[in-house]
Amino acid sequence: MSGFGQRLKDKIGSPSQWFGDLTRTPVWKSLFRHKLPTDPKNRALVVLTNVFLHLHPLRMRKQGMRISYTWCMGGISFFLFLSLTVTGILLMFYYRPTAQHAYPDMLDLMESASLGLMREMHRWAAHLMIITVWLHMLRVFLTGSYKPPREFNWVVGVLLMVLTLLFSFTGYLLPWDQLAMWAVTVGSNMARATPLMGVEGPGAQLMAIGDVPLITAGSDMRFVLLAGRFVGEGALLRFYVLHCLGIPFIFVILLSTHFWRVRRDGGISGPGKGGRLAL
C-alpha cells in the first residue's frame, strides 16, 4: 500500500474505533445507561429501567414465552395499533374532513404525497389488526386463559375488540368514495331499526307524547350516529373526530387496563396454582 493510502487509513481509523469512541461520548451514555446486558443482573436492570420493556415482568416461565403457545397475536395486535397510530398521524397532515376536500385529498395522497404508502399501510394494518385481534381471542379461549383469575381481563379484551371494529368502521368513511359512503350507509341503516329508539324499530310508535312522536328520522339513533338523515358532511366530521380522538381515548385507557391486568393477574396464563405463578 502506498504511503498516502496508509496515512489516510491511519487518520480515518477503523469502524471499531469510531464506535468505540462513540459509546464513550456523554450523549451515548445518557441514552444507554448500560452495556448490552449479558449477565442476569444487567438483564434485569434493562427490563426494569426501560419504559417500554417494563410492561414485561423480569422473569417468566419458559412456557409462557413459547410462540406456539401465545401465537404472539396480542403483541402483534399492539404493534399494529402503534403502526396505525403513526401512519394515522401522518395521514392527518394531508386530510381535511369536509365533503369538499376529503376525496381530492385522497387523490393528492395517492399522486403527490411523498412516502405514498401511508394510506396503504394504514388500511392493511387495520384489516390485519382485526384478524389478529380475533385470533388473539381464539388463542385465549382455547387455552382457557379467561378462567380465574383472569375473568375481568377477558371482559376488557372483548371491549377492546369491539372498539377495534368501531375504529375500522369509522375510518371506513373517511376516503369519502362510493365504497366508503355506501358501506357506512348499510351499516348505519341498522341503527334505524333499534327497538324503541329507531324510527323503523319495534315499539317506536310507543315513544310519543300524545300525538307528537318522539322518534322520527330526525331524532332517532341513526340521526345521532350520522348527525343527519343520511351519510353527509355531518357524518364525515363525526366519524373523523371519533376515529382520531374519541375512540383512541377510550381505547388507550382500556389497553392500559388490559396490560396492567395481565401483570396483576399473574402474567401469561399457564397450568398450575390457577395460573398464578409469574413474578
Partner 1 sequence: METIKHVINTLFAPQYLVTLVIIGLFLFYRYRRVVTQNKLVAYSILAAPVVFFAVSTLDPNFWVQFKRPDNVPIAGMMLLVLFFTWLALKKAVQNDDRIRDGRPVAEAEPEEEEKVFIWPDLVYTELICLLLVSILLTVWSIVIPAPLEEPANPQLTPNPSKAPWYFLGLQEILVYFDPWLAGVVIPTFIVIGLMAIPYIDTNPKGNGYYTFEERRSEILLFQFGFIVLWVTLIVLGTFLRGPNWNFFGPFETWDPHKVEALKNVNLSDYYYYWLLDQPKPEAPPDADVITQLWAIFRREFVGIFLVLGYFLALPPALVIFSKFFRKMFIKMGFMRYMVMTFLLLSMGLFPIKMIARWTVNLKYFISIPEWLLNF
The residues in 222-241 that bind partner 1, with binding defined as CB under 8 A, are 230-232
Which of 71, 223, 239, 251 is in the footprint of partner 1 by CB under 8 A?
71
The answer to the question of residue 101 lying near partner 1 (CB under 8 A) is no
Is 30 a binder of partner 1 (CB under 8 A)? no
Of 67, 70, 116, the C-alpha closest to 91 is 116
264 binds partner 1 (CB under 8 A): no
Q: Cell triple for residue 75?
A: 403483541
Q: Does 83 bind partner 1 (CB under 8 A)?
A: yes
57 binds partner 1 (CB under 8 A): yes
| C-alpha 131: how far from chain center | 13
Interface with partner 1, residue 92, by CB under 8 A: no
Instruction: Name which position in 95, 160, 194, 247 contacts partner 1 (CB under 8 A).
Output: 194
State the amino acid at position 140 in one-letter form. Answer: V
Nearer to partner 1, 88 or 275 (CB): 275
Verify binding: residue 218, partner 1, rule CB under 8 A: no
The reply to whether 46 sits near partner 1 by the rule CB under 8 A is: yes
Give the integer Cα–Cα distance in Å for 80 and 41.
32
Q: Residues 115-154 vs partner 1: string with x where CB under 8 A?
A: --x-xxxxxxx-xx-xx--xx--xx-xxxxxxxx-xx--x
Q: Which is nearer to partner 1, 13 or 144 (CB)?
A: 144
* Beta partners for residue 209, in sequence order: 212
Instruction: Check residue 259 for interaction with partner 1 (CB under 8 A).
Output: no
Q: Rule CB under 8 A: is residue 203 a binding residue for partner 1?
A: yes
C-alpha triplet 264, 136, 119: angle, nearest 5°: 115
User: Within a 13 Å sphere around the CA of 8, how many CA atoms are in the beta-carbon half?
Assistant: 5
Bond preceding residue 149 cis, omega within 30 of 0: yes
Residue 14 Cβ, how far from partner 1 at the closest point, in Å?
Answer: 27
User: Rounded to 5 degrees, what are φ and ψ at 70?
Assistant: -95, -20
Phi, psi of 208 (to 5 degrees): -150, 150
